[in-house]
A and B are shown apart, each in its own frame.
Chain A
């Protein structure tokens, strides 16, 4: 089986395969254009008669659970990134598969982190055929160098839910690491020694996988309250010594920045929002990770406090700064997909106004609406932006796959999307003629804030009008690109082979772009 076949040019002008790992795929048609018909995927019929009457689903080991779940060649195994870089569960799953001589698995993580880099050895020896989800750091490099057997598929958090729900992905075994669980499998992420926050990313897996294994290091007597995941979805419960390192939930990008340049971006972004009238009593915003985004929250807080206004809600990932705003009464609700630090965990556990969301509520394309389009201001990062406001978030300008999409693509549907980015990083211009990989169509991206000027998407005539008399340095995106090239020189394009190593899925499941093998 070839990794991909039947290339076509999609509506964004990108060449993409329509056969991916042997299965048909639909090329990207434009924002909001694709409307599949028919019915959602269905799940295996379970009978409660097959499960113990006493509700005790505990099995002695992870291996036993995997064997009972029928682990075999070619299966799709899903895991989740609730512990981010502190995850201790995904790797043992594949250690066991390797030990059992299992081959050609598909790994469906909700995100990958440096702690997962050791899995490259199983990609090399054929235990894992390919990854669908995100390929960060060393896994991205491995993929970019064409070493992965199958074709990688990159999806957003919402796209992951969509793909499971419309049957594009069928999960054979879901392994859910849960900081607290009862023997029935009711579980949550807010209690226990490795509490990490919400378990929302595992919802689709619990609902749709053939077999669901909950792994915990804090088994409590029924009932486990709150039950973020219902035990009614769960086949087996496994107790391990330690499932995650709580301290590593906090990643480097969850502290506010000390960099003067990034602070300037944050300040200008906040000032822009204010002058453009985007901040008002009852507005909403997406905080996001990354030092710059976090600092913008601080500026928002100052504005709200001064005017005695409140934000109606803020979207997480939450962190101590956002929690402070909630507790100070500057934000009425945090609707939170993940917690970026332990203060976030505490708040979600103790504060009824700090509410868990899932990709279903927030981002899912197959829902009857979702929350992403209700948010007033969305602040995001990007590796590259082009003169048509298209943005890239997965590859760097040297062509290497380095990051996952996360919720980035989904949040583009917010009312005003602002990307504070440096004009260049070292000698890498961020604003280019054309992005290396298309992840976000320019029509959804409204404002680019750099330290040398701010560009407003010409489609947003309303913002242009409102900022007519601002003292902020408004430029065209072309002027910003030219300035970057004046300073750095005109960059060469990365050299690729014509071999595709991964595809990027748009939020509706269509293929928006291909990632090519780098030519070393």
Chain B
């Protein structure tokens, strides 16, 4: 255990964070030094929170320095708690009240067109992420967090799950690989995380390990716990080969994602815009996911400046059978949604089929026909899906059939 602990970020371009330096002393009480950008408005509040936390963790003597860049209370709490726990061992957790509006759960079938990656140790990006309305928000504890920051990021992500309003987005976390990832779950499962992304997934056993841990945590916690879904990420040649057994490994696996940066590295090739090198893997993932009855989800597109290239990428992705993809900038969300959404042609076709389906039902016919053509049940099912989606995405009025009948 360290004598002096530091947590948080400071320096050029850092906002909404607080750099904490904590040193335990043997006398003199809590010597608090606050340098805050918002000292005039929140100086007293910051002081009160810091002293309350020292009391909570039973620290009578310490030098505590806060270099505050406008951190919100949940950030401040995460930074101070992480600093304390770098020095002393304690089971106690300093938890701010759970935001009522964050107590929602998500369903297996919900749309997962877009999932926005946010680095797990950068509070500034978390605060407004929800206003851009991605389907999911991923607080990333894995690749986006430097090894020496992994420890403190857990507290920030935990507090964000409790305190940041993501306005209905599915609250996802990408955990670390291996044992560290299982430990990450302790900071997530009791705090109503909706979905766990499991990186570098190669065997069903990895899913089982995560589920075992989730079960333990559910038993241990007194909070309301909703289902925790899992989205394994296939990022290696072996993962691709085992895709189906991973996709079908547990009931709570709802989607299967592919991560192309690592996959192409594993193949010993490079990622290209055309994506020929990953065609096999993408098709495998789509096929495995469909075989298991879950959503296939595509990788991220990393050139955030090139919106047109992203659009092309989304269209290719949809054509391959994917149901969504990752994004790394809020600007990408709209393009992803617009292009995964059913086109007006698709909607028009679906309307005809669904209308015919309801007509057949009304007449008590077992077979749906459009003109002289029989419509197979799977086609009807797909048309119904298309209509539901179009309604959900405001591309079609809910009562469209009333108007349709009038035509």
Contact = CB atoms under 8 A, between A and B. Distances in A.
A475 interface: no
Interface string A440-484: 000000000001100000000000000000010000000000000
Interface stretch (B41-49, B170-178, B242-250): B41-49
B16 A426 contact: yes
A173 B132 CA distance: 53
A352 interface: no
B41 A264 contact: no
B335 interface: no
B70 A427 contact: yes
Given A428-B41, A471-B394, A264 B70 contact: no
Given A426-B16, A426-B37, A264 B132 contact: yes
Interface in A331-349: none
Given A489-B45, A491-B41, A260 B72 contact: no
Given A261-B128, A451-B131, A492 B16 contact: no
Interface in B351-390: none
B71 interface: yes
Given A261-B128, A427-B70, A495 B16 contact: no
B138 to A, nearest CB: 16
Contact of B331 (A260, A471, A494): A260
Contacts of B15: 426
Interface centre among B37, B41, B69, by most A CB within 10 Å?
B41
A258 to B, nearest CB: 9
Nearest to A400: B40
B330 interface: yes
A397 interface: yes
A487 B166 CA distance: 12
B128 A427 contact: no
A399 interface: yes
Contacts, number: 61
Given A452-B131, A492-B40, A427 B331 contact: no
A264 B70 CA distance: 22
B73 interface: yes
Contact of B70 (A399, A428, A492): A428
Contacts of B40: 397-399, 492, 494-495
Nearest to B165: A487
Say whether chain A's binding surface is mostly helix, strand, loop, or mixed: loop
Contacts of B331: 260, 263
A13 to B, nearest CB: 23
A203 to B, nearest CB: 40
Indicate the size class of the contact surface on chain B: 20 to 34
Contact of A427 (B42, B131, B132): B42
B329 interface: yes
Interface string B318-361: 00000000000111000000000000000000000000000000
Interface in B71-104: 71-73
A261 B80 CA distance: 28
Contacts of A399: 40
A115 interface: no
B291 interface: no
Interface in A19-62: none
Interface in B21-46: 37-45
A305 interface: no
B131 A261 contact: yes
A27 to B, nearest CB: 28
Contacts of B69: 426
Contact of A398 (B16, B41, B72, B165): B41
A488 B128 contact: no
A451 B132 CA distance: 9
Interface centre among B38, B40, B69, by most A CB within 10 Å?
B40
Interface string A491-507: 11011000000000000
Given A264-B132, A471-B394, A428 B38 contact: yes
Interface in B153-204: 165
Nearest to A520: B40
A469 to B, nearest CB: 13
A495 B40 CA distance: 8
A144 to B, nearest CB: 12
A451 to B, nearest CB: 5
8 closest pairs, A vs B, by CB? A426-B70, A260-B330, A491-B41, A398-B40, A427-B70, A451-B131, A427-B38, A261-B128
Interface of B: 15-16, 37-45, 69-73, 127-128, 131-132, 165, 329-331, 394
Given A261-B131, A489-B45, A491-B42, 12 more contacts: A260-B330, A399-B40, A427-B16, A427-B38, A427-B71, A427-B72, A451-B128, A471-B394, A487-B72, A491-B38, A492-B40, A492-B44
22 contacts: A260-B330, A264-B131, A264-B132, A397-B40, A397-B41, A398-B39, A399-B40, A425-B70, A426-B16, A426-B37, A427-B41, A427-B71, A427-B72, A428-B70, A451-B128, A488-B72, A491-B38, A492-B40, A492-B41, A492-B42, A492-B45, A494-B41
